[in-house]
Amino acid sequence: MKPIDRIVTNNPAVQTAYQERFPLEFITGGYLDVLIKVRDRVHAGAVILTHPLSGSVKPNETPYKSIVLAQGTKLDWDSLQLIENAITVVRGMLKDDIKRMHDPGFDLDFQTIDLSLLSSAINDKE
């Protein structure tokens, strides 16, 4: 399996947990901004290692997303298709959103879930 090159995330909890262990690109922005940054990286040759859509927590609920990338040598078409599909889905879900409640009290919960999904993937591989 390809080694981890970097984590792209907008989740402060992931930043705290992993910035010492992996190169980490922190995005100040939303779920979609993370996906768009990952797409830029894919066009520059990166390979996506973790799925760009979250488990069952929907992109219009959680603001947090973290994606693990590896280094590639040329454009990886599978990664490109995956990220383009994900962007389409997320745009579709955000379109319907009627001003969702954003309670800062839940921020930590969403951060924890995103961190947990990421660590359950990463820890397994180490």
Partner 1 sequence: MRLELGKILINDVQFGQTTKVENGTLYVNADEIKQLVKADERIKSVEVELARPGESIRITPVKDVIEPRVKLEGGGVFPGVISKVDTVGSGKTNVLKGAAVVTTGRIVGFQEGIIDMTGPGADYTPFSQLQSVVLVMDVQDDIAQHDHEYVLRIAGLKVAEYLGEAGREVTPDEVEVFETLPLLDSVAQYPDLPKVAYVQMLQSQGLLHDTYVYGVDAKKIIPTIIYPTEIMDGAIISGNCVSACDKNTTYHHQNNPVVHDLLAQHGKTLNFVGVIITNENVYLADKIRSSDWTAKLAEYISLDGVIISQEGFGNPDTDLIMNTKKIEQKGIKTVIITDEYAGRDGASQSLADADPLANAVVTGGNANEVIELPKLDKIIGDISVVDRIAGGFDGSLRQDGTILVELQTITGATNELGFNKLSAKTE
The residues of the shown chain that bind partner 1, judged by CB under 8 A, are: 1, 48-51, 53-59, 61-62, 68, 82, 85-86, 88-89, 92-93, 95-101, 103, 105-106, 109-110, 112-113, 116-121, 124-125
* Residue 89 to residue 30: CA distance in whole angstroms: 15
Shortest Å, Cβ 68 to partner 1 = 8
Taking the C-alpha atoms of residue 16 and residue 102, their distance in angstroms, rounded to an integer, is 23
**β-bridge partners, 70:** 47
Single-letter code of the amino acid located at 87: I
d(CA 60, CA 50): 19
In DSSP terms, 9 is beta-bridged to: 26, 66
Q: Which is nearer to partner 1, 1 or 28 (CB)?
A: 1
Report the nearest approach of partner 1 to the CB of residue 11 (Å).
14
Shortest reach from residue 100's CB to partner 1, in Å: 5
Q: Which is nearer to partner 1, 18 or 110 (CB)?
A: 110
